[in-house]
Structure 1
Amino acid sequence: MRSAVVVGAGVGGLATAGALARTGWRVTLLERADRLRADPAALLLWPNAVAALRSLGLGGGLDAIATPVPAGGLRRADGQWLAQPAPQGAAAPVVVHAEDLHDTFIAGLGDHIEIRTGVSVRSVQARAGERPAVGDGRVTWEADLIVAADGADSALRARLAPQSIAVSSGYAAWRAVIPWYRAPKLAEDLVLAGETLGGGYRFLAASLGNRGSSGASTRGGIYWTATVAGAARPEPKATQLNLLKRWFAGWHAPISDLLAATEPDDLIQQDGRQLRPLPTELAFPYGPGGFVLLGDAAHAMPHHLTQGAGLALEDAATLRALVLPSVPGPGLNAALAAYSAARRPRAAQVGKQTQRVGAVLAPRGTLVTRARDRAFGALAPRVLDKAAEVAAQWQPPAA
């Protein structure tokens, strides 16, 4: 039986481990935390992410937990329109509670999998003619395929592609879900959709519905995310929440109401990390198999296009399709080379669009923001439509 070690149990790692286990691989999943768990926030999934989940055989689970996000346009902090809502096109996203998605992944892991938690990979063995291996200083795991899905600060990437360093993107992001029983009552004509933009600040909210209602997350509630220019904040969560309330004070309804209903433990901070440069290769054949980089370990980028989870799921679906017919040896080596050839240009393409969207949606400074707002009608639709098109155009390879 073909064997794989997946390092990291985030979105990409769980999706990949389950996909390989369900197709006949013996999989060992290594996770640094003491147990497998999701953060209590939510994720926006664009059509490429949805297509990847369906390709992985998880579409049925997604249908039960995803809530469509209506078209919402773009507003200034005072509520005035920068761009009116447009008819919902093919690039409309859905929102899912991260814990619901996590449950879907866990249910899809299959039987041929061993889960080891509390493991921090510290060593990588990549010798010509030998199977690749990783170790934590006490135990060594070798396999035909080792998948590095261990995040932007990947220990495996540091060994395999040391020229690629995770650096700050200059932005930090916060995500939270206000549970349905604590969510503020909003005006009946208010649609939670679209984004609000200020100088270096962005705020987006979406409904997860009422718990158990049709078309809603099984957990329900209201999801919001805020992006702020600057580094991650080291203060306690309560202080971070007070800072967010101060930064977004005076913004149009219901932003203040949502922040007021948020509790410190709801808050998830993400330091916007990006790889500079992208690795020149995302796969490294060794012996009968080799290593692959996946998710943020391969292509961490800023949050502006909200494609982190989508790209990780694309990686998982592509890897599954390419290695499905392969056996250890030249066939698996060729499949890994094909993975790198497919995924590296795609990551670079989305990264370019992410930088363009960031320049439009999150400029820094009052003068630059005013110039952006004046030119918004002519500039932004072209940039945003192109970015949405790039994100939506991916299709999974034939298995």
Structure 2
Amino acid sequence: MSELPTDEEAAARAAAAFTGRFGAAPEGVWAAPGRVNVIGEHTDYNGGHVLPVALPHTTRAAVARRDDGRLVLVSAQHPGADADVAVAELEPGTPGGWAGYPAGVVHQLREAVPGGLSLLVDGDVPAGAGLSSSAALECAVAVALRDLLDLDLGPDELVDVARRAENDFVGAPTGILDQSASVLCTAGHALHLDTRDRGSEQVPLDLEAAGLALLVVDSGTTHSHADSGYGDRRRECEEAARRLGVGLLCEVTGVDALAPLDDGTERGALLLRRARHVVTEDARVEEVVGLLRAGGDPREVGAVLTAGHASLRDDFEVSVPELDAIVETALAAGAHGARMVGGGFGGSAVALVDAAAVDDVAAAVAGRAGAPRSYVVVPSAGARRLS
């Protein structure tokens, strides 16, 4: 569990790298965090509720305007994989790879950037770990362009710009959870977001005061929303909603209302499982929020997390053996609860543990589950300018 740079250190590092690459200082450095979802997985594109916190890990964007119409993208994490394309020639899928995410944001706002941009990104949000590294990159660039180009974009509009970059330019069919968390989260709080009407509240989450810690464990198995089974799950949810005669699964009130899906066919049984996860997961978000609002013992959240993992594993079928092993090992080592996080098919798990037991639980999952990295997560601030 390595130390993260301060905002000042991160800004200086990104600015120095930019100057070394482009021969002049950037006009500013902006940052946006990754996120971990306390509870509420695969509910966002179904119109349900989510409860993320922002990570202390961020992606930084050092940016300056150009006058030649080019977009030049450089990443400290992908040396030699630069992209250089005319802003006017940007189109979905080109450039690809890591550069597609910032390019997608520029594509969304291209009418405001006719002169071009130089952009260097640097960061410490683990990629492919289910912690929204792509959203952190998109939101850092979106906030940078808003400020640099003096664009009239509110928080929801920034979220939409970043989400469309991922959906329409990169081709990953995500909901608004990741980008909303990266833009809207505040330090010391979890973000309770209704993804249907976009109403939100900041729910205090002071685990340290309760002697607890949120431990994120990277399975080492990477994933990508663009080419995993994520899109299949979204289509299955849409089909279940159609069969039930609703626009979104969030409109279903209770598991009993899912009975029409159980038509005796294999497809019907599958759709029932998918919809059951969404309906019960939405209820789990409300249960956790209610407990935190009432000032209850946060340890009680643990059982809800573990139930969420069972649902993701058995009904939604997005877990993998590596994630199951982390959850089982963390629980055996004394965690109050644990579950996989993110879209699934790899990525990370989260465990609610006593602060005094963090090292023991981390050592247990490293030794028995082979998990290579773990992080203690403190609910942190959303996207912001650093310099």
Instruction: Tell me if both proteins adopt one fold, taking TM over 0.5 as the criterion.
Output: no
| Short-chain TM bin | under 0.3
Which structure carries more helix by proportion? 2
TM-score, scaled to structure 1:
0.23
Taking structure 2 as the reference length, the TM-score comes to 0.23
